[in-house]
Structure formats: structure tokens, C-alpha cells
């Protein structure tokens, strides 16, 4: 029988996942001078597909789909969200792209209230107000950042929120690895047109693409392990650490500018996400292998 991790051990895994996510975003940004977000997404899906099928084989699990609608919905919106996120990195910078992409919980709440008739809580209203204020601060922070890249990053968050609801439905009947493979299959088909860019590959870019793919995969593994043995609400709050981690990494390794309004907006967004998360009902930790929506 598996021995549960201590609270400190769980938090350590969650912070390690944040480091992996930040590193992956920086690698994708470095590659953007040669490849666009479509090709880097294609490579990420390809690596994910290879690892996923290998994991299924090692665990002796079948590739079986019980209910096709939530599985394909998760695949379509999950792949679209990831591709848009990589495009936002390529045309902007990893810090801003990660901030907007990881704003998806506020859109999850909006969708739940508007379309799923969830009960409106005071904490949800307060959290959304803070979070949207933070997004506005970042969008108009006075920097020379590309507005188009920011919009693409924000749209990736909206799409990821839709994917979240499909993932929630799919996780009731599907193997989590099979759910993840659905994202990779759809994404691979949707971005296949970018394959000719492979002619520009050299040893350096090939290594970076593989490392980025592995980084994304191991980030998923760490977040799954980290969320297993602590309350989901507490664990989710720690996952927001990927936002400042990526911003700081972009500033150190890529020279990305950080303005005062950007810092204030990031703080407001994270505060809003935490308030919204703390007001939600506590749910059991995700089952082994379930990766949620993280990139």
C-alpha cells in the first residue's frame, strides 16, 4: 500500500511542477526565433503521445474510450488551449502568456455561473472582481508588449476553461492517460500543417524541443503526485506559483521587462484566484495520473 506524502513533501512536488512549467515556457520562447507556436505545439503533442502510449503499455492499460463526447471535447479544447498558449509565448513572452493562460479558473467560474447554474458565492464575486482587475492592469501596463499576443494568451485561458468542464465530465468514465492522449491526438492532427518547419531543425533546437516536451510531461507528473495527499483547494493555490516563477525566469534568462503595473496586476490576479478557490467546496484530490488542465 502506498504511503501518503507529508504536507511538506506534497508542496515540494507542486513547487517542482511550477519550476518545470516555467522552464518549459522559457524553452518554447527561445525556440520562437526559428519556429512558430504551431510547430512547437506539434512537437509537444508528439512527445506526449509517445510517452502516453508507453505509459499505457507499462501499466498494462487498454486504450479504451467509454464516452466519446467528453473525451473528444476535452481533446479539441485542450489542444486548442495549449496551441494558443504556445502562440502567445512565441509572439509575446512566456511570463505574460503564462499569466493570461493560467487565468482560466476565473473563466471556469464564469461558465459555471452563466451556463451550469452554479450557486453564486460572495467569495466568487470578490475573486472575479480582483482577478479581472489584475488582467486589466497587465493588459494596460504601459509596456511595449504585443497586444495581439496578450489577447491570444487570454483567449487560451478562456478555451482552457471550457476544456476544464469537458475534463471534469471525461474523468468520470475515462482513464486519465487516455484523456491526455485525446488532447495529443487532436493537437497532432490540427498542427500537422507545420511539419515542413522540421527542415529547420538542428541539434540545438531538437534538444530544446525534446527537453520542453519532457519538461511539460514531468510537470504533469509532479502536480499529480503533489495534489494526491493534501486538500485540493490548498494544492491548487500552490499551483498558481507557476505564474511568478515563469515571469521571473523570463526576466532573468530572456530579459523580459517587468513593470510596476504588471507586478500589481499579477498580485491582484493571484489574489482573486485564491479567494475564488478558497470559497469553492473542497473536492477530493485527483486520482492517480489525472493531470487536470495544466500545460
Say yes or no to pLDDT of 272 above 80. yes
What mean pLDDT is predicted for residues 10-32?
Answer: 94
290 occurs within a structural domain: no
Residue 229 confidence (pLDDT): 86
Q: Which residue in 152, 130, 142 sits closest to 257, CA to CA?
A: 142
**Please, are residues 272 and 130 in contact by the beta-carbon 8 Å criterion?**
yes
Residue 292: how many CA atoms within 13 Å on its side-chain side? 23
Looking at every residue in the chain, the average pLDDT score rounds to 89
291 occurs within a structural domain: no
How far apart CA 158 and CA 160 sit, in angstroms, is 5
Say yes or no to pLDDT of 294 above 50. no
> Helix, strand, coil shares of the chain as percentages rounded to 5?
75, 0, 25
**Please, are residues 107 and 185 in contact by the beta-carbon 8 Å criterion?**
no
How far apart CA 144 and CA 86 sit, in angstroms, is 20
**Checking phi first, is residue 32 left (phi over 0); if not, alpha (psi -120 to 50) or beta?**
alpha
89 occurs within a structural domain: yes
How far apart CA 178 and CA 166 sit, in angstroms, is 14
Domains held by the chain: number: 1
293 occurs within a structural domain: no
Say yes or no to pLDDT of 288 above 60. no
Q: Express each pLDDT in 146-204 by its tens digit.
A: 999 999 999 999 999 999 899 889 988 999 889 989 999 999 999 999 999 999 999 99
180 occurs within a structural domain: yes
CA-based torsion, 66, 68, 73, 76: positive or negative: positive
Say yes or no to pLDDT of 208 above 50. yes
How far apart CA 206 and CA 203 sit, in angstroms, is 5
140 occurs within a structural domain: yes
Task: Give the angle 15-19-20 at the CA atoms, nearest 5°.
Answer: 115
Q: Express each pLDDT in 96-138 by its tens digit.
A: 999 999 999 889 888 988 888 778 888 889 999 999 999 999 9
Q: How confident is the model at residue 3 (pLDDT cuts 50, 70, 90)?
A: confident
Q: Which residue in 35, 77, 29, 49 sits closest to 194, CA to CA?
A: 35
Say yes or no to pLDDT of 1 above 70. no
Q: Which range marks the domain in which residue 135 is found?
A: 7-279
Cβ atoms within 10 Å, residue 122: 9
2 occurs within a structural domain: no
How far apart CA 111 and CA 280 sit, in angstroms, is 14
Q: How confident is the model at residue 281 (pLDDT cuts 50, 70, 90)?
A: low
156 occurs within a structural domain: yes
Residue 77 confidence (pLDDT): 97
Amino acid at each position: 500500500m502506498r504511503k501518503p506524502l507529508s504536507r511538506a513533501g506534497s508542496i515540494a512536488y507542486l513547487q517542482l511542477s511550477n519550476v518545470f512549467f516555467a522552464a518549459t515556457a522559457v524553452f518554447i520562447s527561445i525556440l520562437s526565433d526559428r519556429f512558430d507556436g504551431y510547430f512547437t505545439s506539434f512537437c509537444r503533442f508528439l512527445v506526449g503521445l509517445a510517452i502516453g502510449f508507453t505509459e499505457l503499455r507499462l501499466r498494462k492499460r487498454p486504450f479504451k474510450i467509454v464516452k466519446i463526447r467528453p473525451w473528444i471535447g476535452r481533446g479539441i479544447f485542450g489542444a486548442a488551449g495549449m496551441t494558443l498558449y504556445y502562440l502567445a509565448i512565441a509572439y509575446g513572452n512566456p511570463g505574460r502568456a503564462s499569466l493570461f493562460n493560467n487565468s482560466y479558473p476565473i473563466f471556469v467560474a464564469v461558465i459555471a455561473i452563466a451556463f451550469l447554474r452554479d450557486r453564486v458565492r460572495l467569495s466568487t464575486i470578490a475573486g472575479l472582481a480582483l482577478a479581472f482587475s489584475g488582467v486589466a492592469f497587465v493588459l494596460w501596463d504601459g509596456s511595449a508588449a504585443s497586444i495581439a499576443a496578450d489577447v491570444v494568451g487570454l483567449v487560451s485561458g478562456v478555451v482552457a476553461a471550457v476544456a476544464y468542464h469537458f475534463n471534469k465530465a471525461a474523468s468520470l468514465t475515462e482513464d486519465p492517460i487516455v484523456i491526455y492522449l485525446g488532447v495529443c491526438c487532436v493537437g497532432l492532427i490540427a498542427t500537422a500543417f507545420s511539419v515542413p518547419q522540421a527542415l529547420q531543425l538542428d541539434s540545438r533546437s531538437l534538444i530544446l524541443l525534446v527537453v520542453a516536451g519532457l519538461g511539460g510531461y514531468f510537470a504533469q507528473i509532479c502536480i499529480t503526485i503533489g495534489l494526491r495527499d493534501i486538500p485540493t483547494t490548498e494544492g491548487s493555490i500552490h499551483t498558481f506559483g507557476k505564474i511568478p516563477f515563469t515571469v521571473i525566469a523570463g526576466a532573468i534568462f530572456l530579459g523580459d521587462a517587468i513593470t510596476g503595473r504588471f507586478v500589481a496586476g499579477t498580485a491582484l490576479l493571484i489574489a482573486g484566484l485564491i479567494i475564488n478557490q478558497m470559497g469553492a467546496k473542497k473536492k477530493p484530490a485527483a486520482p492517480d495520473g489525472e493531470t487536470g488542465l495544466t500545460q
